[in-house]
Structure 1
Amino acid sequence: MESATETPAVSPAGSATETLEEPSTGSAAGTLRLSLLGPVDAHRGGTPVKLGGPKPRTVLAALLLARGRVVSDTRLTALLWGDHPPATCPAQLHTYASRVRHLLGPGVAVERRRPGYLIRLPEQGVRIDLLEFQERAARGAEALTAGDPVTAAGELRRALAVWRGVALGGVCDPLADAERDRLEEERLVTLERRIDADLELGRHTALIPELIALIAADPLREGLRGQLMTALYRAGRQADALAAYRAARATLAAELGLEPSAELRRLQQALLTGHPSLLPRTARRTAGGTDGSTRAQTGGYARTQAGGSVRTAAQTGTSAQAGTKAPPTPKLVPPTARPTPHPSPPPGPPRAATDPLRPAELLPAPADFTGRDQEVIRLGTALTGGRPRRPGQAVHVVTGMPGIGKTAVALQAAHRVKRSYPDGQIHLDLRGSGPDPLDPADALGELLRLVGVPAHRVPAALDDRARAWRTRTADSRLLLVLDDAADERRVRPLLPVTDGCAVLITSRSGLYALEGVSRTVLAPLPPRDARTLFGRLAGPSRTDSEPAAAAAVVDACAGLPLALRIAGAKIAARPHWPLSRYADRLTDPGRTLAELVVADLSLRDRLTEAYGRLGPAARRALRFQSALGPHPVDPGMAAGPLGLGAEEADELLADLAAAHWAEVVRRPGGHAYRLHPLVRLFAHGMLAAEEGTVPSVLPVRASWERTRTDDTA
């Protein structure tokens, strides 16, 4: 039995068997075609451009994916060499950028723009397959929303035909790991929309084998499961449609420990009741419904009728075609077991008419991540709802001093739980520690584009963008990692309001003014984990052969992961150096910070960035505290040299502790503040640079003693 009329069949390649428009080859003389959706390559005038090996292809792909924005040296280095860049990487980067510019020929500019590179392409004569795909996919999605499935199916089919294989073929692994999942997600979303269009056109029977094959390849994708259920129902196979739901539920439970989404459960209820929303729009109009009385469910695989008691053609015995008699409904279950028809739609909040993109934007987790087991476990439990939570409670801040490993911990936790957030995972760098933090309006614009809002439809005003973001993420299961947040003002507008979403924020500030937030404060690594991390980075043979020197290096790094990473990379890049030579240099207080530099990693630079964000009084307090040596400083000791009262000094030092420049040490009857050894070395250097002299500990202590004597006189 067919509950809707069939139109042309669908081929396994992902499109109805109609004449496909071959993507333009761009064979006009001089046309430059750049390809990312398959092997990364270039053709000019139909002739292949010899790009060379993976590294120049990686540079080209990274610059094209940035869409005219600067790609930093840090990012390019990580994409080319991962965590083990060579000492000559800046020179090699310049070589690869120059090679790309030379190979692509006239009109293409690869510019050096601090802190990295960007690519500029002429407005005419260049075609990029990714942009062609995205433009066609956007037109198809808009046509589908507008109720024009014929146009939608054609545009979406042509968009999918642009793909030539697995995206980003031939690039270095870090770039593939960072971007390939996102691009594949865009392809799958477009494929699901194309299937939606074919369902609207009544091609349900031909879609069934295609959907079965797609689900076998991606069994956790609920959108495809729902589309299969809809296609089976429309083909008169209600029992098979319900069996498909049971199979989906069993797979999700076994693999993720999750129940199906609310959308899939609503679709099952519609199947049980034979709800008219299961028919294509044309059939619903014939059966008495109107397009204006329906709303689409996520993925297009169920459409809920807002009207009252309209019954399906299968229930009334009337075909979807103008009043013709349909064959009787097969008795799929005994009549006594049939559920009572439900006159109203299954409950659930409204969703947008088109499925948003499901971004997969997480950066790779560090392969050599060491320690922090309890912190990661606690974060994972919080992110996956280990206890009931109300809206607004799924926000977690990972905080600590510069170089403590906040981003690494956040990414480690995010990757562990990402399958619990099937609507997408987003990583957004807020640039809070730099001189130009990302504006909230710009951040919202980027977030809206990542979930599928076309750029021309992103509102201009901050408040409008925030409302659009909250609406777009309503009833979603989305994981958002906001990296390097400067302050609360730049974070608040970015927070979803639904309890289905979770937000991980990294910040040097604890963001204590955010409401309903839990925090993880990272301390330096304990000695055992610090030794393990350094050994992994420097090489076990180096550390095992000189254990005393290795211990000295680890002690000098004082448990700071960034310092350990720099030291390990420096040793790995100098296999001819005895480890003791580097240990001697690193343990010289006058050289320590100068030795903690490798490639684009510099502890001094990281501390200088953060120091610049402190106010003048806080900077002065930090400088003078460094002059008091490694011992904890109580507020009374600091008050005299700072020219403040004890309470004012305590307030200032407490601000430094809240920003993780100092650690609070509790004492009987009071408290004191202690600097991390590497922070103290940095602040002592700033004291010499900004005060013009370095007071020794004794004069400062003498000043404190005089102040106390004056106060008691």
Structure 2
Amino acid sequence: MPTTATTGRPGAGELGRREREVLHAVGCGLRDDEIAAALATSEDAVAAHLARILGKLGLRDRAAAIVHAFDCGLVAPGRGPRAQPVRPAPRSAANGTAGPAATAGFTATSGPAVRIAVLGPLRAWRDGRSLDLGYPRRQAVLAALALRGGRALSRQELLDGVWGLEPPVANVVPVHIYRLRKILRIGDSPDSVIEHDRGGYRLVSGAAEVDLTRMEDLVTAAGTAHRAGDQAEAVRLCSQALDLFRGELLAGLPGPLAELERLRLAERRIAVAQRKLEWQLRLGRHAEAVDELFALSAEHPLNELVAAMLMRALYSGDRRADALAVFDRARRRLADDLGVPPGRMLRQTYRMILRGDDAGPDLTGVAR
């Protein structure tokens, strides 16, 4: 059966067979070394073919060649290549395909075969195998989809969120989506966990497990346990939620969306930690709370609520002098770094300790 590239679409008929293969691979986002490995040729030969392609089609650069590959039907975003696929050489065991047990879909009993982690450096696994997600911009596109759950993101939203004011290559979003769909395919089928509809791109519902969703489910369950009077279970569930955070959030990912999400997720982590630690104090687990609060305070030295909770935990554990020392350190840090005095809650906690009161201000209202 003739391929789309041989059916006379604009420009396609002017290329030879090997030139069409190279253009197809370029359109799929492969580098010259990947194309050379796939076609069993040299990188110099690939560069020469690409130069002839640009000349024959009147294209100015590689970016224009990618756009042309889509426009002439050689590559179709969201559905895989229309021409004979060009397969890059394997890079590592981390890129291995799913084994024989992989299926073409997900079931309620087996659970998602693809897992995506955003509560730290972006990572993804298929059937337990770590996946090579490629360039940082491509990773940022996947992170945007994972952070939005099932809500579709338009091409413009992805451009604004990942590239911001930097002018990207035309059609760059479909190119990255195409590559991600191949990486995140379901088993050996052409189906992927990413779908495209009139609203834009989204993760297929139930096709991938995202750690952010799991974290929020645990926090919700913790709130339910708390309202039922089971403080110990609430603390346990919050601990599980916090364990999902690992390392620098979205480390190395570019774009304004990643930057905003780093701030949002960091605040969410603090809020969950505060909720857990308040419940620990109510259970009388002061020593356990103190250790965790010291670590949290070191990570967020300007967070007055964390400082206030650490003071309360120390005071409740008969460490009044240490609690007052925390206030002095926080006061100096706020003055030196921000030029402001301690806020009302921190001052109220300080006065409570000076008076020797048994109870301090309620700190649970900040973590919803």
TM-score norm. by structure 2 comes to 0.62
Cα distance in 2 for residues equivalent to 1:76 and 1:255: 35
| Alpha-carbon shift at residue 169 of structure 1 (Å) | 3.1
Aligned match for 1:138, one of 212, 220, 228: 220
Unaligned 5+ residue runs, structure 2? 1-107, 186-190
SS for the counterpart of 2:134 is coil
- Cα 1:53/1:28, change in 2 over 3 Å: farther
Greater fraction strand: 1
Cα distance in 2 for residues equivalent to 1:84 and 1:262: 42
Cα distance in 2 for residues equivalent to 1:160 and 1:144: 17
Q: Deviations over 1:516-562 (max 9, x none)?
A: xxxxxxxxxxxxxxxxxxxxxxxxxxxxxxxxxxxxxxxxxxxxxxx
Cα distance in 2 for residues equivalent to 1:174 and 1:142: 35
Partner of 2:172: 92
Cα distance in 2 for residues equivalent to 1:213 and 1:297: 21
Cα distance in 2 for residues equivalent to 1:240 and 1:169: 35
Instruction: Judge which range, 65-74 or 230-239, deviates more.
Output: 65-74
Q: Is the 8 A contact 1:37 1:167 kept in 2?
A: yes
Cα distance in 1 for residues equivalent to 2:162 and 2:319: 52
Q: Is the 8 A contact 1:263 1:297 kept in 2?
A: no
Q: Is the 8 A contact 1:79 1:172 kept in 2?
A: no
Cα distance in 1 for residues equivalent to 2:325 and 2:362: 21
Partner of 1:398: none
Aligned match for 1:244, one of 318, 321, 326: 326
| Alpha-carbon shift at residue 158 of structure 1 (Å) | 0.5
- Cα 1:177/1:48, change in 2 over 3 Å: same
Partner of 1:50: 132
SS for the counterpart of 1:159 is helix
SS for the counterpart of 2:366 is coil
Q: How does 1:294-373 map to 2 (within 5 A)?
A: 297-298=362-363, 300=364, 354-356=365-367
SS for the counterpart of 2:130 is strand
Cα distance in 1 for residues equivalent to 2:174 and 2:197: 9
Q: Deviations over 1:279-308 (max 9, x none)?
A: xxxxxxxxxxxxxxxxx623x4xxxxxxxx
Q: Is the 8 A contact 1:222 1:248 kept in 2?
A: yes
Task: Give structure 1 regions of 4+ aligned residues with deviation exceeding 6 angstroms.
Answer: none
Q: Deviations over 1:316-358 (max 9, x none)?
A: xxxxxxxxxxxxxxxxxxxxxxxxxxxxxxxxxxxxxx324xx
Q: Deviations over 1:55-76 (max 9, x none)?
A: 2211111122223333233332
Partner of 1:122: 205
Q: Deviations over 1:621-663 (max 9, x none)?
A: xxxxxxxxxxxxxxxxxxxxxxxxxxxxxxxxxxxxxxxxxxx
Partner of 1:200: 282
Greater fraction helix: 2
Partner of 2:93: none
Partner of 2:261: 179
Residue 282 of structure 2 aligns with an amino acid whose one-letter code is: E
Q: Which has the larger radius of gyration?
A: 1
- Cα 1:68/1:81, change in 2 over 3 Å: same
Partner of 1:102: 182
SS for the counterpart of 2:359 is helix
Aligned match for 1:111, one of 196, 200, 205: 196
Partner of 1:75: 157
| Alpha-carbon shift at residue 231 of structure 1 (Å) | 1.4
Whether 2:141 is the aligned partner of 1:59: answer yes
Cα distance in 2 for residues equivalent to 1:29 and 1:249: 50
Q: Identity of counterpart residues, as a percentage?
A: 34
| Alpha-carbon shift at residue 223 of structure 1 (Å) | 1.6
Of structures 1 and 2, the one with the larger relative CO (CA 8 A, separation 6+) is 2
- Cα 1:69/1:52, change in 2 over 3 Å: same
Cα distance in 1 for residues equivalent to 2:289 and 2:231: 15
Cα distance in 1 for residues equivalent to 2:355 and 2:174: 65
Residue 194 of structure 1 aligns with an amino acid whose one-letter code is: K
Residue 207 of structure 1 aligns with an amino acid whose one-letter code is: A
Cα distance in 2 for residues equivalent to 1:250 and 1:120: 47
Q: Deviations over 1:263-290 (max 9, x none)?
A: 2222222222222325xxxxxxxxxxxx
Q: Deviations over 1:192-234 (max 9, x none)?
A: 2222222222221343344333323321111211111111111
Whether 2:306 is the aligned partner of 1:224: answer yes
Q: Deviations over 1:466-522 (max 9, x none)?
A: xxxxxxxxxxxxxxxxxxxxxxxxxxxxxxxxxxxxxxxxxxxxxxxxxxxxxxxxx
Partner of 1:168: 250
Q: Deviations over 1:339-388 (max 9, x none)?
A: xxxxxxxxxxxxxxx324xxxxxxxxxxxxxxxxxxxxxxxxxxxxxxxx
Q: Is the 8 A contact 1:225 1:245 kept in 2?
A: yes
Cα distance in 1 for residues equivalent to 2:227 and 2:352: 22
Number of equivalent positions? 256
- Cα 1:74/1:213, change in 2 over 3 Å: same
Q: Is the 8 A contact 1:40 1:170 kept in 2?
A: no
Cα distance in 2 for residues equivalent to 1:255 and 1:152: 36
Residue 195 of structure 2 aligns with an amino acid whose one-letter code is: V
Partner of 1:652: none
| Alpha-carbon shift at residue 142 of structure 1 (Å) | 4.2
SS for the counterpart of 1:34 is strand
- Cα 1:41/1:246, change in 2 over 3 Å: closer
Cα distance in 2 for residues equivalent to 1:49 and 1:218: 32
Q: How does 1:389-408 map to 2 (within 5 A)?
A: none
Q: Is the 8 A contact 2:250 2:258 kept in 1?
A: yes
- Cα 1:63/1:213, change in 2 over 3 Å: closer
Partner of 1:370: none
Q: Deviations over 1:559-589 (max 9, x none)?
A: xxxxxxxxxxxxxxxxxxxxxxxxxxxxxxx
Q: How does 1:367-516 map to 2 (within 5 A)?
A: 452=368
| Alpha-carbon shift at residue 134 of structure 1 (Å) | 1.2
Cα distance in 2 for residues equivalent to 1:220 and 1:264: 11
| Alpha-carbon shift at residue 166 of structure 1 (Å) | 1.8
Q: Is the 8 A contact 1:37 1:162 kept in 2?
A: yes
Cα distance in 1 for residues equivalent to 2:304 and 2:221: 24
Cα distance in 1 for residues equivalent to 2:257 and 2:117: 15
Partner of 2:343: 261
Residue 125 of structure 2 aligns with an amino acid whose one-letter code is: H
Residue 256 of structure 1 aligns with an amino acid whose one-letter code is: L
Q: Is the 8 A contact 1:229 1:244 kept in 2?
A: yes
Q: Deviations over 1:412-467 (max 9, x none)?
A: xxxxxxxxxxxxxxxxxxxxxxxxxxxxxxxxxxxxxxxx4xxxxxxxxxxxxxxx
Q: Is the 8 A contact 1:140 1:155 kept in 2?
A: yes
- Cα 1:139/1:239, change in 2 over 3 Å: same
Cα distance in 2 for residues equivalent to 1:268 and 1:145: 29
Cα distance in 1 for residues equivalent to 2:154 and 2:195: 13
- Cα 1:272/1:143, change in 2 over 3 Å: farther
Residue 49 of structure 1 aligns with an amino acid whose one-letter code is: L
| Alpha-carbon shift at residue 80 of structure 1 (Å) | 3.2
TM-score norm. by structure 1 comes to 0.34
